[in-house]
Chain A
Amino acid sequence: MMSATSSSAKSRPLPFVEEVQITGHIIDSLILPKVLDLITAGGGSFKIKKITIGHSRSDPSFALVEVRAASVEALRQILGQIGDHGAVPTALQDCQLTAADIPGAFPEGFYSSTNQRTEVRLGGQWVEVASQEMDCGVAVDLELRTARCVAMSDVVAGTQFVIGHGGVRVFPPELLAERQPFEFMGSSVSTEKPKGVAIRQIAHELFKNRQGGGKTLLVGGPAIVHTGSGEHLCRLIRGGYVDRLFAGNALAAHDIEQALFGTSLGVHLDRGDLAEAGHEHHLRAINRMRRIGGIRKAVESGVLRSGIFYECVRNDVDFLLAGSIRDDGPLGEVITDVLEAQRQMRDRIEGITFCLMIATTLHSIAVGNLLPAWVTVVCVDINPSTVIKLSDRGSFQTIGLVTDVEPFLRALVSELEALERTA
Chain B
Amino acid sequence: MNAPEERKPARSTAAFDFTSRQPRILMCPPDHYGILYEINPWMSRQKQADPALVASQWESLRRLIEQVGARVLLLDAVSGLPDLVFTANAAMIYRDRAVLARFRYPERQGEEACDEAWLTASGFTVDKLPVGVYFEGAGDALFCGDTLFAGYRIRSDVAGHQQIGVMFSCRVIPLELVDPYYYHLDTCFCPLSPGMAIYYPGAFDDYGRRALAESVEELIAVSSNEARRFACNAVVVGRSVITNTECPELHRALEARGFSTFETPLGEFVKAGGSAKCLTLRLDGEDAAAWRG
Q: A interface vs B, CB < 8 Å?
A: 23-25, 28-31, 33-34, 57-58, 60, 84-86, 88
Contact check, A24 vs B176: say whether CB atoms are below 8 A apart: no
Contact check, B173 vs A85: say whether CB atoms are below 8 A apart: no
The listed residue (B152, B166, B170, B214) touching A28 by CB distance below 8 A is B214
**In the assembly, what is the distance between CA of A85 and CA of B161, in Å?**
11
Residues on A with beta carbons closer than 8 Å to the beta carbon of B60: none
Contacts A33-B207, A85-B176 hold; do A58 and B159 have CB atoms under 8 A apart?
no
Residue B61, interface by CB 8 Å: no
- Distance in angstroms from B176 CB to nearest chain A CB is 7
- Distance in angstroms from B174 CB to nearest chain A CB is 5
Residue B158, interface by CB 8 Å: yes
**In the assembly, what is the distance between CA of A60 and CA of B158, in Å?**
14
Contact check, A25 vs B176: say whether CB atoms are below 8 A apart: no
- Residue on B nearest A23 in the bound complex, by CB: B162
CB contact list, B157-182 vs A, under 8 A: 158-159, 161-162, 165-166, 169-176
The listed residue (A24, A28, A33, A34) touching B162 by CB distance below 8 A is A24
User: Main secondary structure on chain A at its contact with chain B?
Assistant: loop
Residue B55, interface by CB 8 Å: no
Contact check, B165 vs A60: say whether CB atoms are below 8 A apart: yes
- Distance in angstroms from B160 CB to nearest chain A CB is 10
Contact check, B153 vs A58: say whether CB atoms are below 8 A apart: no
Contacts A25-B173, A58-B171 hold; do A30 and B207 have CB atoms under 8 A apart?
yes
Contacts A23-B162, A84-B153, A88-B159 hold; do A28 and B173 have CB atoms under 8 A apart?
yes
Contact check, B174 vs A86: say whether CB atoms are below 8 A apart: yes
CB contact list, B167-208 vs A, under 8 A: 169-176, 205, 207-208
Residue B125, interface by CB 8 Å: no
Residues on B with beta carbons closer than 8 Å to the beta carbon of A85: 152, 158, 174, 176
Residues on A with beta carbons closer than 8 Å to the beta carbon of B146: 57-58
Contact check, B207 vs A25: say whether CB atoms are below 8 A apart: no
**In the assembly, what is the distance between CA of A88 and CA of B158, in Å?**
11
Contacts A33-B207, A34-B207, A58-B146 hold; do A25 and B171 have CB atoms under 8 A apart?
yes
Max chain A C-beta neighbours (<10 A), residue from B166, B207, B210: B207
Cβ-closest 7 pairs across A and B: A86-B158, A24-B162, A30-B207, A29-B173, A34-B207, A30-B211, A29-B211
Residues on A with beta carbons closer than 8 Å to the beta carbon of B214: 28
Contacts A84-B158, A86-B162 hold; do A24 and B169 have CB atoms under 8 A apart?
no
- Residue on A nearest B205 in the bound complex, by CB: A34
The listed residue (A28, A29, A58, A84) touching B169 by CB distance below 8 A is A58
Residue B215, interface by CB 8 Å: yes
Q: How many residues of B contact A (CB 8 A)?
A: 25
**In the assembly, what is the distance between CA of A58 and CA of B146, in Å?**
9
Contact check, B162 vs A29: say whether CB atoms are below 8 A apart: no
Contacts A60-B165, A86-B158, A88-B159 hold; do A24 and B174 have CB atoms under 8 A apart?
yes
Q: Mark B139-164, 1 if CB is under 8 A from A, else 0.
A: 00000001100001100001101100
7 residue pairs A–B, Cβ–Cβ below 8 Å:
A24-B161, A29-B173, A29-B174, A57-B146, A84-B153, A85-B174, A88-B159
- Distance in angstroms from A25 CB to nearest chain B CB is 5
Residues on B with beta carbons closer than 8 Å to the beta carbon of A30: 207-208, 210-211
The listed residue (A23, A28, A60, A88) touching B211 by CB distance below 8 A is A28
Residues on B with beta carbons closer than 8 Å to the beta carbon of A33: 207
**In the assembly, what is the distance between CA of A29 and CA of B147, in Å?**
11
Residues on B with beta carbons closer than 8 Å to the beta carbon of A28: 171, 173, 211, 214-215
- Distance in angstroms from A65 CB to nearest chain B CB is 15
Contact check, A25 vs B165: say whether CB atoms are below 8 A apart: yes
Residues on A with beta carbons closer than 8 Å to the beta carbon of B215: 28
CB contact list, B67-107 vs A, under 8 A: none
Residues on B with beta carbons closer than 8 Å to the beta carbon of A84: 152-153, 158
**In the assembly, what is the distance between CA of A28 and CA of B165, in Å?**
14
- Distance in angstroms from A223 CB to nearest chain B CB is 61
Residues on B with beta carbons closer than 8 Å to the beta carbon of A23: 162
Contact check, A29 vs B166: say whether CB atoms are below 8 A apart: no
**In the assembly, what is the distance between CA of A386 and CA of B214, in Å?**
58
Residues on A with beta carbons closer than 8 Å to the beta carbon of B172: 24-25, 29, 60
- Residue on A nearest B159 in the bound complex, by CB: A86
- Residue on A nearest B176 in the bound complex, by CB: A85
- Distance in angstroms from B215 CB to nearest chain A CB is 6
Max chain A C-beta neighbours (<10 A), residue from B146, B152, B171, B211: B171
- Distance in angstroms from A61 CB to nearest chain B CB is 11
- Residue on A nearest B214 in the bound complex, by CB: A28
**In the assembly, what is the distance between CA of A23 and CA of B161, in Å?**
11
Residues on B with beta carbons closer than 8 Å to the beta carbon of A31: 158, 174, 207
The listed residue (B159, B170, B175) touching A29 by CB distance below 8 A is B175
Residues on A with beta carbons closer than 8 Å to the beta carbon of B147: 57
- Residue on B nearest A29 in the bound complex, by CB: B173
**In the assembly, what is the distance between CA of A41 and CA of B158, in Å?**
21
Contacts A25-B172, A25-B173, A28-B173 hold; do A60 and B162 have CB atoms under 8 A apart?
yes
